[in-house]
Structure 1
Amino acid sequence: MKLPDDPALATATLDTPIGELRLAATEAGLAAVLFPNQKDIAFPKREGSAKARAHLDKAVKALERYFEGKQTDFTGLTLAAEGTAFQKSVWAALARIPFGETRSYRDIACAIGNPKGVRAVGLANGRNPLPIIVPCHRVIGADGSLTGFGGGLPTKKWLLEFEGNRDAVLRLTFDHTIPRNMPHPELTSDRKPR
């Protein structure tokens, strides 16, 4: 992934419980969210245009509210993710996964009308330029296992735990532990198992 080549591009960083996120927006909307482990992606510091900055500021505020536990979706944001029509259909399906729930790659493939496209869905999921906003962390394997994630499996586990998805978190193998500097949210006991 690379950031859009746009003179109006605005960028920002946000300190979160999972590390520093890097965000970028164009005049069309939010274009990228990068995890701390994605240092190989060029990320220039840019003030950008006023319109791009407005999209960026709105996204930063929404993510702050998410990490404070005050926001569970990002429907009010304008998104400008670059991708193929197929990728965008997958990302739209991901955006409909409710907070605290998970879906399998097969579920997403069926939701977009392509039940045999499970692998293609996995590839599109992996190319999602707006993680957390478009919640690709909520997608799991057909057997319930936690599978690859751009931010790393410990981050995926943290996000699912933060959202109260106890069932998915319990399926993470013990080889993937949360780093010591990453805080653990309390799991709520009022969630009912699915």
Structure 2
Amino acid sequence: MTTYFTTTDTPAGPFTMLTDADEAVLASGWTTDVPGLMKLAKLPGEARAKSDPGVPLKALRSYLDGDLSAIDGVAVRQRGGEFIAHAWDVLRQVPAGGPVTYTEFAARAGRPAAVRAAAMACATNAAALFVPCHRVLRLDGTLGGFRWGLPVKRWLLDHEASRISLGTYVTSPYV
């Protein structure tokens, strides 16, 4: 399998995506460290530069321009155990502007007592943004952790909150 990478600037910093020939996101994050992303995603070999990975890059640009649902349809392929893979699918259903706590996330994933396992799903998520682990907060509403740094997580949550209409988005647990 050939892995491709592209890096683009975002308001939160440089963002790199690893994709396959089918334009599925294999890994992504606010970094320029392609070997680090390869390791995170447990991908063998090296990635080749690709100036335009098509759908994922267009979706990222649309998301940054305010179309928060643009990232929802992008194919993602990650390696993980049964619960972790299911939890990543559940994360993709957490709507922009509607962050959940780790406890709520565990319940949505079907294992309400497995809060640590839910947190592990966030921690091992290699496809940041496309699998929006930034939308999971601590029980007290604080940010918690984020592989790419709390300033990036804050920027993402603020970006999403600022784009939600007042009729849909009333209050935020992270303000």
TM class, shorter-chain normalised?
A: 0.7 to 0.9
Q: Which amino acid aligns with 1:41?
A: G
TM-score, normalised relative to structure 2: 0.81
Poorly superposed stretches of 4+, deviation over 4 Å: 37-40, 42-45, 186-189
2:4 maps to 10
Consecutive unaligned residues in structure 2, runs of 5 or more: 39-45
Q: Deviation per CA, 1:56-115, whole angstroms, max 9, x where unpaired?
A: 321011001101113424232121112222111111111001111111111111112111
Identity %: 30
Structure 2 counterpart of 1:21: 15
- Check if 1:100 corresponds to 2:97: yes
Aligned residue identity for 1:144: G
For 1:182, the equivalent position in structure 2 comes to: none
AA partner of residue 27 (structure 2): A
How far 1:15 sits from its partner (Å)?
0.9
Question: Are the equivalent residues in 2 in contact too, given 1:23–1:33 (CA < 8 A)?
Answer: yes
Structure 1: runs of 5 or more not aligned: 1-5, 165-185
Residue equivalent to 1:80: 77
Aligned CA RMSD, in angstroms, stands at: 2.5
TM-score (norm 1): 0.74
CA contact (8 A) 1:12 1:45 kept: no
- In structure 2, the partner of 1:3 is none
Q: Which of 29, 37, 43 matches 1:34?
A: 29
Q: Which has the higher contact order (CA 8 A, sep 6+)?
A: 2
Asked whether the 8 Å contact 1:73–1:99 carries over to 2, the reply is no
Task: Pick the structure with greater CA Rg.
Answer: 1
